[in-house]
Amino acid sequence: MFNNTEILPAIRDLKDIDKALATDSNYIVLLNTHVGQLKSLVKMIKSNNKKVLLHADLVQGLKNDEYAAQYLAQDIRPDGLISTRKNVLMTAKKSNLMTVQRLFLLDSLALQSSYHMLETIQPDCVEILPGVIPHIIEEVYLKTKIPIIAGGLIRTREEVEAAIKAGAVAVTTSNRKIWTN
């Protein structure tokens, strides 16, 4: 899915974009962006032969609804959208974008309701947060057979390896120190 790339650099701060572009990753995840910066950011990343996964819920200046998703899909044209919202992901699917359902697994109830949501949305990929719970990564993959991305609180190479060993296809992290081998 990500061409054997284990770590997907997640950009929280634009000063990190050059370092992310210098990695071997084929994908870059954009977090905490401003609507006015999106078009030029996506264009710059794509001109460096990278694909863009845009976290739709974290775009400042846009409401995270299906109209915003239509705008992102038609005008900004990332390669995929990440969201916690069903309507955003369903709109992205209609536009043939990669869909990544972001799940915050705080407790057993959140996990159970997530299974129902995944069955309804059928995203291309699931991002599990926090990504430092390998046994849950394994459980979710075995139950859903949807590729897993681990994200959140991943700070070391050992945590990356544990997530991959548990079945994650990749890890997202904003920790620049582990973006490269």
CATH number at residue 69: 3.20.20.70
Enumerate the β-bridge partners of residue 110.
none
Residue 2 lies in a domain: no
Q: pTM for this one?
A: 0.96
54 touches 38 (CB < 8 A): yes
pLDDT tier at 4 (50, 70, 90 boundaries)?
confident
For residue 46, is it within any domain?
yes
Does 67 reside within a domain? yes
Tens of pLDDT, residue by residue over 16-62, are 999 999 999 999 999 999 999 999 999 999 999 999 999 999 999 99
> Residue 63 above 90 pLDDT?
yes
pLDDT for residue 181: 63
- 13 is in which domain, residue-wise? 7-178
Q: Structurally, how many domains does the chain consist of?
A: 1
**Shortest CA distance to 164 belongs to which of 151, 179, 177, 145?**
151
